[in-house]
A and B are shown apart, each in its own frame.
Chain A
Amino acid sequence: MSRWYKIDNAGKVFHAVTKASNSSVYRVSMIMKAPVNAVLLQKALDTVIKRFPTLAVKVRKGLFWDFMVDNEEKLSIQKETTYPCHPINPRENNGYLFRVLYFKQRISVEIFHSLTDGTGAVEFLKTLIYQYLTLQGEKLVIDGDVLFPDEVPNKYEIEDSFEKYFHESNHYHLHDKVPRSFQIKGTPFDPAGVNVIHGVISASAVNRFAKRLGASITEFITAVLIHAIYSETMKYGLYKENITIALPANLRRQFPSVTLRNFFAVVNVGMHVTDKMTLEDIIKTVSNQLRSKTERETLQAEINRHVHLQNSLTTRMVPLFLKYQAMRYGFQHFGEMAKTITLSNLGNIKLPDCMNRYIKRMEVVLYPTKNSPINCGVCSLNDQMTITFARSIVETEIIKSFFSQLTRLTGLDVEVYSNYWGEAR
């Protein structure tokens, strides 16, 4: 009898809100120094997939909740042919909700967000690369930074940490109304697709620069992004809305957990920007908000609120198709309308030195949505920070302004490359 898993608290929403214009599929990639050997990559995947039982699943329909069961089918790697974060059709993918792609030197994992968050995806990718390099004949000694492919998964890796850290409370603050934030408008690509622009910059140099301003890398990038959005889209208009950046926060940092399933909360950092505000002012506001909103108590309240809502008898007894309608409403009004853009920083990815020498850098691509047509993913590896903008609209002003400001402010070189979806090379 195959095992089954309840979908975790965050994962449930993605089943409800996924549609053509919102694939809920994100990508993590590693750029190798040598072209990818497809045969070895397939062999590596065949081994590694067993190490991640909560990824090797297919979705089944239930009356009150959908659920996931073990998937024994083969998952084949695919040569990349279409744009990143393309929707995943399980029927065309042997029931799987993730895929492994390769193109020249890049190995990518694209995952439907219901399965896991960025941390889980990166762990999978690291183990896949480890196995791939081992099959190439490299002698690698790993020391805890990578999950060993032959290990038996432990129970803490497959737990739902939302449930684990949920505390009963008498006070669950439900937002009555979330103020609408400024929304980026643009001309959708025809045919629809995702254009990605990557900017590569020295991670240590950016870190030093941010520290000089009293900020972390995430705070600094968030501030530059807010400034870019304001200067390109709002400066000459009459807007009352805030610019709000949605920042997924890794809850494992505050709540000890090694789960390979979703365990994140979204922190909204927003402000009303005026002409008189300098970048330093924006950084100060971002830092204050981000630090207070990522305190353990605040995140605990978020976990309690979401799990309480999911576990209340009223919610549980309502048939799924009605719950999906409610989730779509909540996602649209409390999620999408409350933010301008999402910025996800996976941070500095740690790999053993013996693996680092085979890898150039990493990329993370965050799927755009109808209300948030530009999203930003950041990650660092080997002192190479890759800032990736994924967009579903033609306009590039905000991205251009962001990178121009970044080079002007820091004086650092930024290398930019794109997939040119919807554009002539």
Chain B
Amino acid sequence: MNHCMNCGVWVEHLTCPLCHRKVANPTFTTEVKWYPDYHSLKQKKGNSFVSRLVIFVSIVIVSTCLLINIFVTPDFLWVFYVAATVLYLLVTSNHTINSSAHTGAKIFGQVISLSGLLIVVDVLSGFRRWSVNFVVPFLIITATLLITIIILKKRMRWQEYVGFIVALIVLGFLPVGLYITGIATILWPCAITTLYALLTLLGMLLFSDKTFKEELVRRFHI
């Protein structure tokens, strides 16, 4: 044990951790090692750099296109096509591919972002309503089916997907809402989506005994 005259304490090192001075006349020259060496510790390089790079590149593309659009063809704002596509690719890159998010969250994210992209494209090209009549309902059905398959496959860890299946079941009622409000004009795809959501809910309640109901109680406890 060495004595630091400056701080008045005994130290188990050659440098005092309090004043950072070398201990005068150390009696022990071999340090007691209480902690690992951190020099060899590799700094964990997360995905943050790639994510930030993708965001920066996206901003560069959109802002450049905006400038060109304003100066070259101010009557036709095609920049929104670019912006919506870039935004979708940004979500796909930073959330779906380049993140450790839950698979359920990735599927849900894709439904929302792809729906958003296609609605924008539809609106910009005259809003013939193909996005709200067909794309959104069938995207929701596809995602619900996908998560149902995952739940059936993952017998041990299916509870992790309950939140997402519930969210998609709730989302399954959205197309009918769009029809009622007049945004969507064709009923049958909207009705199929809602029926599919209801049947999924019913199937979960019937075939999972008490576990699904119990999981719902947990998820919605107040």
Contacts and interface: CB of A to CB of B under 8 A. Distances in A.
Interface of A: 1, 4, 6, 60-65, 67, 69, 79-83, 91, 103-104, 106, 191, 193, 196-199, 316-317, 396, 399-400, 403-404, 407-408, 413-421, 423-425
A64 B218 CA distance: 10
A425 B36 CA distance: 12
A136 B17 CA distance: 35
A404 B36 CA distance: 27
A106 B219 CA distance: 39
B149 interface: no
Nearest to B43: A191
Contacts of A316: 222
Interface centre among A67, A191, A317, A404, by most B CB within 10 Å? A404
Nearest to A403: B9
A197 B11 CA distance: 11
A60 B220 CA distance: 11
B9 to A, nearest CB: 5
Nearest to B8: A407
Nearest to A83: B38
7 contacts: A6-B221, A103-B35, A191-B43, A396-B17, A403-B7, A418-B35, A425-B15
Contact of B15 (A63, A191, A197, A424): A424
A418 B17 contact: yes
A153 B97 CA distance: 43
A408 B12 contact: no
Contact of A415 (B1, B163, B214, B221): B1
Q: Give the residue among B4, B20, B34 with the most A Cβ atoms within 10 A.
A: B34
Contacts of A416: 4, 7, 9-12, 16-18
Contacts of A81: 36, 41
Interface of B: 1, 4, 7-20, 31-36, 38, 41, 43, 100, 159-160, 163, 210-211, 214, 218-222
B9 A415 contact: yes
A40 B211 CA distance: 37
B218 A82 contact: no
The 10 A-B residue pairs whose C-beta atoms are closest, nearest first, are A418-B17, A419-B35, A400-B18, A316-B222, A417-B12, A407-B8, A415-B10, A416-B9, A64-B222, A414-B9
A391 to B, nearest CB: 11
A399 B41 CA distance: 26
Contacts of A317: 222
A414 B33 CA distance: 18
Contacts of B19: 396, 400
Contact of B17 (A6, A191, A197): A197
A316 B221 CA distance: 9
Contacts of B214: 1
Given A199-B9, A416-B9, A425-B31, A1 B17 contact: no
Contact of A62 (B1, B4, B7, B219): B219
Given A82-B38, A404-B7, A413-B10, A197 B221 contact: no
Contacts of A69: 159, 218
Contacts of B222: 64-65, 316-317
Contacts of A193: 38
B221 A65 contact: yes
A342 B12 CA distance: 26
A60 B159 contact: yes
Contacts of A61: 163, 219
Given A67-B221, A400-B19, A415 B35 contact: no
Nearest to A1: B211
Contacts of B36: 79-82, 103
Contacts of A417: 11-13, 17, 32, 34
B204 to A, nearest CB: 15
A63 B34 contact: no
Contacts of B221: 6, 62, 64-65, 67
A115 B7 CA distance: 38
Nearest to B219: A62
Given A103-B35, A400-B19, A425 B14 contact: yes
Contacts of A403: 7-9, 18
A404 B13 contact: no
Contacts of B31: 425
Given A399-B18, A416-B18, 9 more contacts: A60-B159, A64-B222, A67-B218, A103-B35, A413-B10, A414-B8, A415-B9, A415-B10, A419-B35
B34 A106 contact: yes
A414 B16 CA distance: 13
Contacts of B13: 417-418, 420, 425
A403 B1 CA distance: 17
A415 B13 CA distance: 10
Contact of B218 (A4, A80, A396, A408): A4
A293 B97 CA distance: 52
Most buried by B among A79, A197, A414: A414
A416 B100 CA distance: 41
A213 B160 CA distance: 57
A186 to B, nearest CB: 15
A31 to B, nearest CB: 8
A399 B35 CA distance: 19
Contact of B20 (A1, A64, A423): A423
B45 to A, nearest CB: 12
Nearest to B40: A81
Interface centre among B15, B32, B36 (most CB of A within 10 A): B36
